[in-house]
Amino acid sequence: MLAKQAVVIGAGLAGMMAARVAADHFDSVILVERDQVAGPDPRKGVPQGNHIHVLWSVGSAILENLFPGLFEELAAAGAVGFDNSADMRWYQGGVWKLRMESGLRICSQSRPLLEHKVRQILQTHDNVSFQRGSIDQLIIQNHKVCGVKLASSGGLDSEIRADLVIDASGRGSRLPDWLVEHGYSRPKTIEVGVNLRYASRLYERQEGLDWASMAIYARPPLSKKSGVIFPIEGNRWIVTFGGCFDEHPATDEAGYLDFARSLGKPDIYDAIVNARPVSEISGFQFPKEVWRRYDKLRDLPAGLAVIGDAFCSFNPLYGQGVTVAALEAVALGNCLRSNASLHSYYRSAMRIIRNPWMMATGNDLLYPEASGERAFWTKPMGRYTDHVLRLSATNPTVFKGFLDVLHLAKPPSHLFRPDILAAVLLSPRESHSSD
Ligand SMILES: Cc1cc2nc3c(=O)[nH]c(=O)nc-3n(C[C@H](O)[C@H](O)[C@H](O)COP(=O)(O)OP(=O)(O)OC[C@H]3O[C@@H](n4cnc5c(N)ncnc54)[C@H](O)[C@@H]3O)c2cc1C
């Protein structure tokens, strides 16, 4: 009798979390990754690795659960832990937020280090293996996925048999095309165009400051520029700027600093202007947020799951991607445990995605330049959120409520809890004017 085998396409974070949960239910799990992966270094298949990767508390808790000891390993490698409000200078909605103990810890490290440590722990599972290769089609028989085909190397086609195939190949996933080639429907997509660009650089970390991290955020629809400083391993800062539509950060020295100077507040510029850069400036273009509605497809072949950015790719400014992928991995594990049909996984994933999607796109659609369908609540919700953000400067309860939603620990409806609603309704009416 053949052993039960799962294949995961792509060994990014979503792929490795999916492999970890599949390892509890399959005799063998193979992660197929087209990049050569070795140490904690940026790589071609994950260009976002050069940029800030914040990890919200819900994502951290799931990662620690799936990969016990991960955060001790990260700390030993130089990752920096800090409180998300007490240790952070954070300007958003035209105000500096309160500095208070929130109990919500951030573990801050580079994305390549996070991926590397996850990979090392995953490799201790005897039934998980990594294989280098690029998958370029599914094998489907009798309405069931039963393997994958690898792109030919040296004229040789090869195949891997599988009882479950998990697409974790990221936002460039070609799964919709593969499905169409097999006669299935392409998933409908929802897209919100933001034309975002990132520019990031590493600096030597400055000592003796009263903050660990700093953020200055755009205030839709008034301003489009954001910047953050996060501490990472190697006693460094990662400094990422993001600007949407016509206000992009440049990747040359002078333009990069000009962008820093032009943020709503000069504090990030002041912090980096005399700091020592220790890397080149890396850029990244993110044209649009995309949700491929696999959850709505009725005719998917059996034995196929989709996770992470391949399913839904969020505006990276909100730092949701890894936490959403972690929640999806938990949902996939639950589905495999209960031996339920994968339709139940897709339904759970839809419920996981819809709140962060609404939060991210709801904010982005406040810009008139953003392409995408606006709901009747987009503008009123934007005004309400702006009040919440402004109250984060003075009201600890409202600020904590906002943080819980941001960390995906609570749904957005939490912001309408009676005490938060009352604080918002009683706060002075403020037009969308920046400070
Ligand atoms: C600029 C930027 C900044 C971000 N910042 C944050 C942040 O602060 N916080 C956060 O939570 N999220 C952030 N994200 C999102 C986050 O990176 C992803 O949501 C998360 O890493 C999950 O991605 P993934 O594993 O699904 O895909 P990816 O990380 O893209 O990995 C896909 C993998 O699949 C491989 N692959 C692709 N095709 C094939 C194939 N055919 N065969 C074999 N292998 C293949 C690739 O080489 C790659 O290794 C950011 C994204 C971007 C673009």
- Determine contact, residues 145/139, Cβ cutoff 8 Å: yes
Clarify whether residues 121 and 249 are in a common domain: no
User: End of a domain among 262, 287, 312?
Assistant: 287
Give the distance (Å) from ligand 1 centre to CA of residue 41: 14
Buried b (16+ CB within 10 A) or exposed e, 109-127: bbbbbbbbbbbebbeeeeb
Kindly give, in sequence order, each residue whose CB lies less than 8 Å from that of residue 31, ignoring residues fewer than 6 positions away: 7, 8, 10, 11, 15, 16, 19, 128, 129, 130, 131
pTM score above 0.85 = yes
Judge whether 368 lies within some domain.
Answer: no
pLDDT number for residue 411: 96
pLDDT number for residue 432: 40
Clarify whether residues 388 and 356 are in a common domain: no
pLDDT number for residue 153: 66
Domain containing residue 313: CATH number: 3.50.50.60
pLDDT lower than 50: segments of the chain: 431-435
Q: How many CB atoms sit inside 10 A of residue 394's CB?
A: 13
For ligand 1, residues with CB inside 6 Å are 9-15, 32-35, 45-46, 48, 51-54, 134-135, 168-170, 198, 284, 286, 308-310, 316, 319-323, 325
Using the 8-state DSSP alphabet, how is residue 186 labeled? P
Q: How far apart are CA 348 and CA 333, in angstroms?
A: 11
pLDDT number for residue 435: 46
pLDDT number for residue 155: 58
Give the distance (Å) from ligand 1 centre to CA of residue 170: 5
Sign of the torsion formed by the C-alpha atoms of 302, 307, 310 and 311: positive
Clarify whether residues 103 and 210 are in a common domain: yes
Q: Which atom of ligand 1 approaches the CA of 35 most closely?
A: 47
User: End of a domain among 270, 287, 304?
Assistant: 287
**Residue closest by Cα to atom 45 of ligand 1:** 10
- Backbone phi, psi, residue 214, to 5°: -140, 145
- Backbone phi, psi, residue 385, to 5°: -60, -40
Q: How many CB atoms sit inside 10 A of residue 5's CB?
A: 19
Q: Where are the beta strands (DSSP E) in 142-281?
A: 144-153, 156-161, 164-167, 189-204, 213-216, 225-232, 236-244
Q: What domain range includes position 137?
A: 5-46+65-70+113-190+290-360
Clarify whether residues 132 and 94 are in a common domain: no
- Determine contact, residues 368/221, Cβ cutoff 8 Å: yes
Clarify whether residues 130 and 268 are in a common domain: no
Clarify whether residues 214 and 105 are in a common domain: yes
Paired with 145 in beta bridges are 140
Count of structural domains, the chain: 3
Distances from the Cα of 255 to the Cα of 49, 192, 259, 262, angstroms: 22, 27, 6, 10
Only one residue has tokens 């400051």, namely 209
Judge whether 388 lies within some domain.
Answer: yes
Where does residue 190 rank: exposed (0-12), middle (13-18), buried (19+ CB within 10 A)? Answer: middle
| Strands of the 144-153 sheet, one edge to the other | 135-141, 144-153, 156-161
* Cis peptide bond upstream of 221, omega within 30: yes
Q: Which atom of ligand 1 approaches the CA of 54 most closely?
A: 8
Clarify whether residues 239 and 329 are in a common domain: no
pLDDT number for residue 152: 75
- Determine contact, residues 84/102, Cβ cutoff 8 Å: yes
Where does residue 3 rank: exposed (0-12), middle (13-18), buried (19+ CB within 10 A)? Answer: exposed
User: End of a domain among 250, 267, 287?
Assistant: 287
pLDDT in tens, 316-349: 999 999 999 999 999 999 999 999 999 999 999 9
Clarify whether residues 240 and 346 are in a common domain: no
**Residue closest by Cα to atom 9 of ligand 1:** 319
pLDDT number for residue 154: 61
Sign of the torsion formed by the C-alpha atoms of 378, 297, 18 and 152: negative
pLDDT number for residue 264: 86
Clarify whether residues 211 and 306 are in a common domain: no
